[in-house]
Amino acid sequence: MGILEGVKFTKEHEWAREEGGKVYIGISDYAQNALGDIVYVELPAAGKKVKAGDAISVVESVKTASDIYSPVSGTVIEVNDALEDSPELLNEDPYENYIAVIDPENLSELDKLMDEKEYREFCSEEE
Protein backbone atom coordinates (compact mmCIF):
# COMPACT_ATOMS: atom_id res chain seq x y z
CA MET A 1 0.00 0.00 0.00
CA GLY A 2 1.40 3.35 -1.01
CA ILE A 3 1.30 6.19 1.48
CA LEU A 4 2.65 9.58 0.56
CA GLU A 5 4.76 11.46 3.08
CA GLY A 6 3.73 14.99 4.06
CA VAL A 7 0.07 14.16 3.55
CA LYS A 8 -2.60 13.93 6.26
CA PHE A 9 -5.29 11.25 6.31
CA THR A 10 -8.83 10.80 7.62
CA LYS A 11 -10.40 7.65 9.05
CA GLU A 12 -12.60 7.61 5.94
CA HIS A 13 -9.43 7.26 3.78
CA GLU A 14 -9.29 10.75 2.29
CA TRP A 15 -5.94 12.51 2.06
CA ALA A 16 -5.28 16.23 2.46
CA ARG A 17 -2.17 18.11 1.37
CA GLU A 18 -1.57 21.80 2.10
CA GLU A 19 0.13 23.77 -0.67
CA GLY A 20 0.38 27.53 -0.65
CA GLY A 21 -2.45 27.93 1.85
CA LYS A 22 -4.80 25.70 -0.19
CA VAL A 23 -5.78 22.15 0.72
CA TYR A 24 -5.83 19.47 -1.98
CA ILE A 25 -8.14 16.51 -1.25
CA GLY A 26 -8.26 13.03 -2.71
CA ILE A 27 -8.62 9.38 -1.80
CA SER A 28 -5.83 7.20 -0.47
CA ASP A 29 -4.23 4.26 -2.19
CA TYR A 30 -5.93 2.06 0.43
CA ALA A 31 -9.32 3.50 -0.60
CA GLN A 32 -8.82 3.05 -4.33
CA ASN A 33 -7.68 -0.55 -3.77
CA ALA A 34 -10.77 -1.25 -1.64
CA LEU A 35 -13.07 0.35 -4.21
CA GLY A 36 -11.67 -1.47 -7.22
CA ASP A 37 -12.03 -0.06 -10.72
CA ILE A 38 -13.38 3.49 -10.42
CA VAL A 39 -15.91 4.29 -13.14
CA TYR A 40 -17.38 7.68 -12.12
CA VAL A 41 -16.54 10.66 -9.93
CA GLU A 42 -19.16 13.23 -8.96
CA LEU A 43 -17.21 16.44 -8.42
CA PRO A 44 -18.28 19.19 -6.04
CA ALA A 45 -19.25 22.60 -7.42
CA ALA A 46 -16.62 25.31 -7.31
CA GLY A 47 -17.72 28.00 -4.86
CA LYS A 48 -19.46 25.49 -2.57
CA LYS A 49 -18.90 26.17 1.13
CA VAL A 50 -18.18 23.05 3.18
CA LYS A 51 -17.60 22.12 6.79
CA ALA A 52 -15.10 19.49 7.90
CA GLY A 53 -16.87 16.13 7.63
CA ASP A 54 -19.31 17.23 4.90
CA ALA A 55 -19.72 14.91 1.91
CA ILE A 56 -18.31 16.79 -1.07
CA SER A 57 -18.05 14.11 -3.76
CA VAL A 58 -19.09 10.60 -4.69
CA VAL A 59 -16.74 8.02 -6.18
CA GLU A 60 -18.37 5.06 -7.91
CA SER A 61 -16.61 1.83 -8.70
CA VAL A 62 -17.69 -1.47 -10.19
CA LYS A 63 -18.26 -2.63 -6.58
CA THR A 64 -19.90 0.31 -4.80
CA ALA A 65 -20.35 4.06 -4.42
CA SER A 66 -18.60 5.97 -1.64
CA ASP A 67 -19.05 9.47 -0.32
CA ILE A 68 -15.88 11.56 -0.09
CA TYR A 69 -15.73 13.88 2.91
CA SER A 70 -13.93 17.18 3.29
CA PRO A 71 -11.28 17.02 6.01
CA VAL A 72 -11.39 20.82 6.42
CA SER A 73 -13.93 23.63 6.41
CA GLY A 74 -13.77 26.22 3.66
CA THR A 75 -14.73 26.89 0.05
CA VAL A 76 -14.20 24.61 -2.94
CA ILE A 77 -12.05 26.70 -5.27
CA GLU A 78 -11.06 24.09 -7.84
CA VAL A 79 -11.99 20.59 -8.96
CA ASN A 80 -10.07 18.08 -11.04
CA ASP A 81 -12.10 18.16 -14.27
CA ALA A 82 -9.92 15.41 -15.78
CA LEU A 83 -11.75 12.93 -13.53
CA GLU A 84 -15.02 13.51 -15.42
CA ASP A 85 -13.63 11.83 -18.55
CA SER A 86 -11.03 9.64 -16.84
CA PRO A 87 -12.18 8.57 -13.36
CA GLU A 88 -9.67 5.69 -13.50
CA LEU A 89 -6.93 8.27 -12.81
CA LEU A 90 -7.77 7.77 -9.12
CA ASN A 91 -6.78 4.10 -9.49
CA GLU A 92 -3.62 4.90 -11.43
CA ASP A 93 -2.18 7.50 -9.04
CA PRO A 94 -4.50 8.49 -6.16
CA TYR A 95 -2.04 11.01 -4.68
CA GLU A 96 -1.31 12.85 -7.92
CA ASN A 97 -4.97 13.03 -8.91
CA TYR A 98 -6.82 15.14 -6.39
CA ILE A 99 -10.61 15.52 -6.38
CA ALA A 100 -10.96 19.10 -5.12
CA VAL A 101 -9.04 22.05 -3.74
CA ILE A 102 -10.36 23.87 -0.68
CA ASP A 103 -9.59 27.41 0.44
CA PRO A 104 -9.60 26.52 4.15
CA GLU A 105 -11.11 28.64 6.90
CA ASN A 106 -8.60 27.27 9.40
CA LEU A 107 -5.50 25.31 8.40
CA SER A 108 -5.13 24.04 11.98
CA GLU A 109 -7.95 21.56 11.20
CA LEU A 110 -5.27 19.53 9.41
CA ASP A 111 -3.60 18.96 12.79
CA LYS A 112 -6.53 16.71 13.78
CA LEU A 113 -5.78 14.28 10.93
CA MET A 114 -3.42 11.30 10.93
CA ASP A 115 0.11 11.55 9.58
CA GLU A 116 1.45 8.79 7.31
CA LYS A 117 2.74 6.65 10.22
CA GLU A 118 -0.56 6.85 12.13
CA TYR A 119 -2.50 6.14 8.94
CA ARG A 120 -0.38 3.09 8.10
CA GLU A 121 -1.12 1.69 11.59
CA PHE A 122 -4.82 2.55 11.23
CA CYS A 123 -5.02 0.69 7.89
CA SER A 124 -3.24 -2.38 9.25
CA GLU A 125 -5.83 -2.56 12.03
CA GLU A 126 -8.65 -2.36 9.46
CA GLU A 127 -7.42 -5.37 7.48
The amino acid at residue 85 is D
Q: Is residue 3 part of a domain?
A: no
pLDDT of residue 77: 98
41 phi and psi angles, rounded to 5 deg: -130, 120
Q: Is residue 49 part of a domain?
A: yes
Q: 113 lies in which domain range?
A: 8-126
Q: Is residue 44 part of a domain?
A: yes
> Would you tell me how many other CB atoms lie within 10 Å of the CB of residue 116?
15
**Average pLDDT, rounded, for the chain:** 94
pLDDT of residue 5: 64
- Residue 114 DSSP one-character state: B
Q: Is residue 2 part of a domain?
A: no
Q: How many domains does the chain have?
A: 1
The amino acid at residue 53 is G
Q: Is residue 45 part of a domain?
A: yes
Percentage with pLDDT > 70 across the chain? 96
Report CA dihedral (118, 33, 53, 16) to the nearest 10 degrees: 60
Judge whether residue 68 has pLDDT over 70: yes
pLDDT of residue 108: 94
At 12, which CATH number? Answer: 2.40.50.100
Is the pTM of the predicted complex or chain greater than 0.75?
A: yes
User: pLDDT tens digits for 79-110?
Assistant: 999 999 999 999 999 999 999 999 999 999 99
